[in-house]
Amino acid sequence: MERMRRVREGLAPAGRMRRPWPGAPCLAAAVLAAAALVVGCGPAGTPDEEGVQAGAEPAPRKEIIQPEGVARLPVFSSAVRSGDLIFLSGAIGALPGVSPPTLAEGGIVPETRQTMDNLATVLEAAGAGWGDVVKCTVFLADMSDYATFNEVYLEYFPEDPPARSALAAAGLAFDARVEMECIAAAPEGGP
């Protein structure tokens, strides 16, 4: 009766009024605590599943890898390690230690070799090698260089090559004929 009077006088909404369940705050707290345990957060002062002390500094989400002498622009890192993966930025056939970046002369073959050597330097700095590479993406300025590029590429991956995509891209940096980026599995106990 009281509710109907309040609705008529505009003191309550016309819809159904719900009373909050008295145990709702406790239930919400329990759900949040359970969710925290599911994602590996233990109570303060106890180790989680990986043996890391709760409240301890977490491992960095990414590690920048920048070897000396590898040409790069200041807008990206040569590679980033995150978890068990190493992401190598696109590399071109720029000669090491030369500024401004200068491409290897002689066409697609020397440029491809220098690109591969530049990537090898970054892999080595990350404690990895060609056998750890799981995916490559290749950008060619001209798809007519595809077969010639592959001849050089196979020198670095003579068996069990990684997954790969290759495509033509107009306007590569510094008028390069080839650019390649890679993803590698980080070896256990890397640098």
Q: Which of 137, 131, 126, 52 is nearest to 82 (CA)?
A: 126
Q: Are strands 85-92 and 163-168 parallel, antiparallel or unpaired?
A: unpaired
- List, for residues 68-91, the tens digit of each pLDDT value: 877 667 788 899 999 999 999 999
Whether the CA torsion 164, 168, 174, 178 is positive or negative: it is positive
Domain covering 63-185 assigned CATH 1.20.1540.10 in the classification: no
Whether the pLDDT of residue 190 is over 50: the answer is: yes
Q: Which residue has the higher pLDDT, 63 or 68?
A: 63
pTM of the predicted model as reported, rounded to 2 decimal places: 0.68
CATH code 3.30.1330.40 region(s) in the chain: 63-185
Instruction: Work out the average pLDDT over 124-148.
Output: 97
**Sheet with 133-140, side-by-side order of all strands:** 63-65, 79-82, 85-92, 178-185, 133-140, 163-168
Share of the chain above pLDDT 70, in %: 66
Structure confidence at residue 49 (pLDDT): 54
Q: What is the mean pLDDT of the chain?
A: 80
